[in-house]
Structure 1
Amino acid sequence: MIYRSLLVTSLLISSSFSLELDKLDITNQNKLTLEQVVNLSLINDSWIIGNKYAQEAIESNSISIASYADPKITIGALNLPTDGFDFNQEGMTQLKIGVSQMFPRGDSLEIKQEQLKLKASQFPYQREDRKSKLTAKISQLWLNAYKAQESISLIKNNLFLFERLIDVAESSYSTTIGRSKQQDIIRAQLELTKLDDKITVLKQNKDEFLSKISEWLYTFSDGENVFKYSNLTLPKELPNIKMINKATLNSNINSQTLITIFSEHPSIKNIDQKIKSVSKGVLLSKEKYKPQFGVNTSYGYRGDDLMGKSRSDLLSIGVSFDIPIFTKNKQDKELQTAILNLKSVKTEKFTQLRKHVASFENTKVNLLRLKDRYSIYKNKLIPQINEEVEATLTAYTNDEGDFADVVRSRITQLNAKIDMLNINVEIQKNIINYNYLFATNAEEIINTVGKEGSNL
């Protein structure tokens, strides 16, 4: 009875001490918040920089492509007599300079310029979608690392309790008045070993997620990678992400309304601009049925005749053009190709919208089920488990319960806390996925508000 009373006192003291130790440890850490990680990742993303260069290149090309082809100049001596190469011998002999200029086919230059401008207009939407996707990806990695970190913290808090259980059980077993059995000690030691192994696995998971995060925290200087954050640590507080269009979570919204909303998403806007650009290709193909015109002019200088009389110089002016007659295997096929490309891009938009709708439905179901689980754990399961822990400890203290029940209840309590943590983290992860679908810019995806769980 004495040892069992001592067990209760030891567990209470150990639990209080472990919590204070954990708080002290966390406050002294160098913390890298979710917002900091995301911002650094966006700053250091070389894809975004390359995308800007690609846009500038196409914008520059859209200016140059609207210019006419350079005129061609020809200079030559015509009809020189081969018997003496005397410039004045024959009347047909002349020095000739000519200029020719080809004009674009129909409105092809204007259409090409508009097509490139539309293509360049895709890039800002591509960058915004890239930022949104990268924000979601880095946030998922950060939350996974956070989950591992806090699970380790919860287990470490309970290590003190199990160590005290072993100490008290061993003391009770070594005395004649104690009722602890050897199997009680072995059971407690086994659970302690399992917890140590679980900590090792969680540390491995945390390191894996942090290493994936660190990939995006490289900075580029003179072509070399300079890594600034070699030892990442995360804050103890779980971010509470604000949900965009929260009203859609608890309402029956139809697919057409969703498509209208998702049509403003950067990824869909990018495809819209792509459709406009490809549609210009159809117009460009139709222009190839029109003739292409060119003009040419030349001036021929003739020398004096053998009697010293001057000869008239010669001026030539002409127009050239082609006639697209054999169109079956050329222009017709080019137009058909352009039309099929346009249909393909329109199908791409439909496919992307369908993915958004499916992702919305899946994420919505996940959030509703997680909301239910959160409520069950918070209002029922956790309080019931805490009562069970108190009851088993009281029963054991009064010689009415087994030591194994005390250990089992503590393990159940620890697992419930870890499960509760997992639920909270999964809620935030799904809210991020939800926000990605509705966000028109990356900043909206991880805005934080209120207390934990209040956004559902």
Structure 2
Amino acid sequence: MTAFLFARRAGKGVMAAVLWLSLATGAQAETLSFARAQVLAQQDAPENLARQAQLESAQFSVEPADALPDPQLILGVDNVPVEGADRYSLNQDFMTMRRIGLMQEVPNSDKRKARRSLAVATVGVAEAEQREMLLQTRRQTALNWLNVYYAEHSVALFDQLDLQISLLRATVQSLIAGGSASPTELLQADELALTLEDRRDQLQRDVAVARAALRRWIGAAATEPLVGNPPVFQLSVPQLHQRLHEHPELNAANARVGEANAALAEAIAEKTPDWGVGFVYSNRAPQFGDMVSLQFTFDLPMFVGSRQGPTIKARQQSVAQLEAEQEVLLREHAAELESGLAELEQLHKALTRTEKSLIPLASQRAELELAAYKAGNRQLSTVINSRTALIEAQLREIELKRQVSELSANLYYAYVESLQ
């Protein structure tokens, strides 16, 4: 008996230890705040890693861009006789020489400067595209985190409604017991419960979809429970208009125009001739003296119209194309900014009306209809309709908050965060 009690106490101790460990593990489980999601996206998103590699590649290309070509080693034999008694001899004929020397091609300074300018402009494009991708990553992560947050809040709303449906069923059952309601009315309450379950399933599906979209940017951490509230994005309308040209996509387009202009300058520099210098030491037989040679070479751009000219025209058209595309982007973003601000104002007004008027009225109506039903002055269908209207108003509030947060995030990461 004593052994049995000891074993029982030991079992309870083990169970307590296991319970403590599970609670400790749960307490240490990671949670996913908005700020942590942003950090994870910035560190782990493969798009950011690709853009960083692109930037480093461009930076490494700057230094050798204006360097001279590698020198050329000259090795040769001149004037080897192929007839007579000294044929194929390298040291009998006074004209036979063994040559060694160096040749250095020297591109003109304008071309070298243009090549370096083009390399620097390419770095500028890589930097702008890296910044654009970084902001896009943060924006997409923000939007997906917000989608998860509001989808889960919609599901939580239905969890609260379960209690209300239970209370409604209890009311109907008591009225049936009192003879003031028919049993078919209980079926109507059950039908409402089933309808809400279908709606809950749809919302849980939305949560899963939002989680999957968030996993696209931050990986496995997207499955962690959310913690904290959505951030409040501070937006100033005058500043948004002033920062229109600082949109990350416009910055990248501007950098590409600069790169195209640098490529045009390089094409123009091709018209200036390059030159080269060579030094050769010629060794002859001991009875003859050695010799040295010095030579210079110059390019002769005699056919500019058919060679360099078409390239220059092609680069000019590329510049014109990119400038036109830049103007297209500017107009598109100007229109998007105006429409976004108008939509944001409308959403704020709709949210205010929903919070201050629609939900209080729907809640009051639901309470009055329920009280009238209990007094025998209303049909249950009227109570169910009022309850459904209240649910829709509450879901509308959550959806409007989601739209406000989403649109504010889009504007923030386009015109505010881009300068920080």
Q: Is the 8 A contact 2:125 2:259 kept in 1?
A: no
Shift of 1:29: 9.4
Give SS of 1:351's match: helix
CA change 1:41–1:240 in 2 (3 A) is closer
CA change 1:263–1:247 in 2 (3 A) is: closer
2:123 equivalent among 120, 123, 127: 120
Are residues 1:280 and 2:271 paired?
A: no
AA at the equivalent of 1:345? L
Structure 1: distance between partners of 2:145 and 2:419: 16
Q: Which residue of 2 aligns with 1:109?
A: 112
Alpha-carbon distance in structure 2 between the residues aligned to 1:30 and 1:63? 45
CA distance in structure 2 between the aligned counterparts of 1:301 and 1:393, rounded to whole angstroms = 116
Matches within 5 A, 1:180-191: 180-191=181-192
SS at match of 1:318: strand
Relative to structure 1, the CA distance from residue 101 to residue 30 in structure 2 (aligned partners, 3 Å threshold; closer, same or farther) is closer
TM superposition shift of 1:416: 0.8
Structure-2 change in CA distance of 1:114 and 1:30 (3 Å) = closer
Q: Does 1:43 align with 2:30?
A: no
Unmatched 5+ residue regions in structure 2? 1-26
Partner of 1:178: 179
1:393 to 370, 376, 384: 370
- Cα distance change, pair 248–104 in 1 and its aligned pair in 2 (3 A): closer
Match of 1:344 in 2: 321
Structure 2 counterpart of 1:188, which letter?
Answer: A
Query: Which range is displaced more, 338-347 or 44-53?
Result: 44-53
Query: 1:233 matched to which residue of 2?
Result: 225
Alignment-derived partner of residue 243 in structure 1:
234
| CA distance in 2 between partners of 1:231 and 1:95 (Å) | 76
Q: Secondary structure of 2:103's partner?
A: strand
Correspondence for 2:249:
267
The letter of the residue matching 1:371 is H
| Kept in 2: contact 1:210–1:232 (CA 8 A) | no
Name the SS for the 1:291 alignment partner.
coil
The one-character-per-residue Cα deviations of 1:345-402 (angstroms, maximum 9, x if unpaired) are 2122212212211221221121111112112112222222122122212222222222
Residue 70 (structure 1) aligned with residue 47 (structure 2): no
Matched, 1:431 2:408: yes
Q: Does 1:61 align with 2:61?
A: yes
CA contact (8 A) 2:146 2:402 kept: yes
Name the SS for the 1:263 alignment partner. Answer: helix
- What is the alpha-carbon distance in structure 1 between the residues aligned to residue 71 and residue 28 of structure 2? 74
Letter in 1 for 2:374: T
TM-score norm. by structure 2 comes to: 0.86
Q: Distance in 1 between matches of 2:149 and 2:279?
A: 78
Aligned partner of residue 73 in structure 1, secondary structure: strand
Q: CA deviation at 1:112?
A: 0.6
Residues 78 and 97, structure 2, Cα contact 8 Å, conserved in 1: yes
Give the superposition deviation at 1:247: 4.8
Correspondences of 1:284-363 after superposition (within 5 Å): 284-304=266-286, 310-363=287-340
Q: 1:169 to 1:30 in 2, by over 3 A?
A: farther
Q: Which has the higher contact order (CA 8 A, sep 6+)?
A: 1
Deviations 1:105-149 (A, max 9, x none): 342112111211121123333222222212221121122222221
Measure the CA separation in 2 of the matches of 1:69 and 1:181. Answer: 98
Name the CA shift for 1:399/1:248 in 2 (closer, same or farther; >3 Å). Answer: farther
Q: 1:153 to 1:273 in 2, by over 3 A?
A: same
Distance 1:233 1:208, change over 3 A: same
- CA–CA separation in structure 1 for the residues paired with 2:334 and 2:136: 17
Q: Residues 329 and 376 of structure 1: is their aligned pair in 2 closer, same or farther, counting only changes over 3 Å?
A: same
Residue 344 of structure 2 contacts residue 407 of structure 2 at CA under 8 Å; is this kept in 1?
A: yes
Paired residue secondary structure (1:432): helix
Letter in 2 for 1:336: K
Aligned length: 391
Tell me if the contact between 2:128 and 2:255 (Cα under 8 Å) persists in the aligned partners. Answer: no
In structure 2, what is the equivalent of residue 137 of structure 1?
Answer: 140
Structure 1 SS opposite 2:66: coil
CA deviation map 1:66-94 (0-9, x unaligned)? 22112222222222223333444322122
Letter in 2 for 1:185: L
Distance 1:279 1:60 in 2: 21
C-alpha distance in 1 between matches for 2:284 and 2:107 = 35
Distance 2:41 2:225 in 1: 16
Shift of 1:193: 0.2
- Structure 1 residue identity aligned to 2:266: L
1:360–1:437 CA contact under 8 A, matched in 2: no
Q: Is the 8 A contact 1:97 1:299 kept in 2?
A: yes
- For 1:372, the equivalent position in structure 2 comes to 349
Same amino acid, percent of matched pairs: 18
Instruction: Kindly indicate whether residue 92 of structure 2 is the aligned counterpart of residue 92 of structure 1.
Output: no
Residue 221 of structure 1: aligned partner: none
The amino acid across from 2:194 in the alignment is T
CA contact 1:149–1:203 (8 Å) conserved in 2? yes
Post-superposition Cα deviations, 1:387-446, rounded to whole Å, max 9, x if no partner, equal 212221222222222222222211111111111111112111111112123124387xxx
Displacement of 1:291 in angstroms is: 1.7
TM-aligned CA deviation for residue 183 of structure 1:
3.3
Please name the residue that 2:165 is paired with: 162
Contact 2:235 2:412 in 1 (8 A): yes
- CA deviations over 1:313-356 (Å, ceiling 9, x no partner): 33322222221112233211100111111112212221221221
C-alpha distance in 2 between matches for 1:315 and 1:368: 84
Equivalent residues of 1:132, 1:442 under 8 A apart: no
Residues 298 and 349 of structure 1, relative CA distance in 2, 3 Å threshold: same
RMSD: 2.4
